[in-house]
Amino acid sequence: MNRLHFLKMLASIQLIGASMKLEAFEKMSNNFSNTKKTPLIFIGHGHPINALLDNDFTQQLSKIGTSIEKPNAIMIISAHWTTKGTFVSVNSQPKAIYDFGKIDDRLLQIKYEPKGHPQLAREAIEAAANYQIKENSSMGLDHGAWTILKYLYPKADVPVFE
C-alpha cells in the first residue's frame, strides 16, 4: 500500500465516521512504498467575516498556501451539510455557497469557483464501497471551504471536492 492509497482510505474513514484503532493504522503504514508525502491539514474556518479581512489568521493562511507544494486536488470534509445520508460532491464546477445568513453584504460579492475533481471524488466513494456514500452532482462549496481556500489558493487553481 502506498501513501496515496492510505490517504484515500483515511479520507473515506473520515467520511463514514468509522473508527479504527491507531495500532491498525500503524500496521498498515509499515507496508508503505517509498512515495512522496503530502501534507494533511486541518483548518477551522472561524467566522465567515474573515473572508473580507487582512489579519493574522488570513495572513497565516496565505503563508501556508505558498509554503507547501500545490496539491493536485483538495478534499474538504465538512460538517456544514444537513442531509439524509453521506454524500461526496462530483460537481465539476462547484460554486461558492453563501450559507451563513446576513452578516455583511460584501461577502456575497466574493467569488471563489475552483474546478471540482469528479474522478477523485468517485475514487473516495469507491474506497468506501461497503458504506452508503452517494455522489451528488449539484453540491457547491460551503463557506467553511471557500473562505479558507480563497487565501490558500487565491487563483482557485486547485480542484476541490467536498
- Can you give the pLDDT at residue 45? 82
**Residues in CB range of 59: below 8 A, 6 or more apart:** none
Q: Is the dihedral angle over the CA atoms 116, 121, 11, 136 positive or is it negative?
A: positive
Phi, psi of 22 (to 5 degrees): -60, -30
Residue 6 has pLDDT above 70, yes or no: no
30-47 pLDDT, tens digit each:
665 666 777 788 888 888
Distances (CA, A) of 80 to 97, 111, 115: 11, 19, 20
The pTM of the full predicted model, rounded to 2 decimals, is 0.75
104-158 pLDDT, tens digit each:
999 999 999 999 999 999 998 988 888 888 999 999 999 999 999 999 999 999 9
- Can you give the pLDDT at residue 53? 96
CATH of 49-161 among 3.40.830.10, 3.30.110.30, 1.25.10.10, 3.90.1150.10:
3.40.830.10
Residue 17 has pLDDT above 50, yes or no: no
Residue in the structure block whose three cell numbers are 487563483:
155
Distance, CA of 94 to CA of 69 (rounded, Å) = 23
- Can you give the pLDDT at residue 4? 62
Task: Delimit the domains of the chain by residue range.
Answer: 49-161
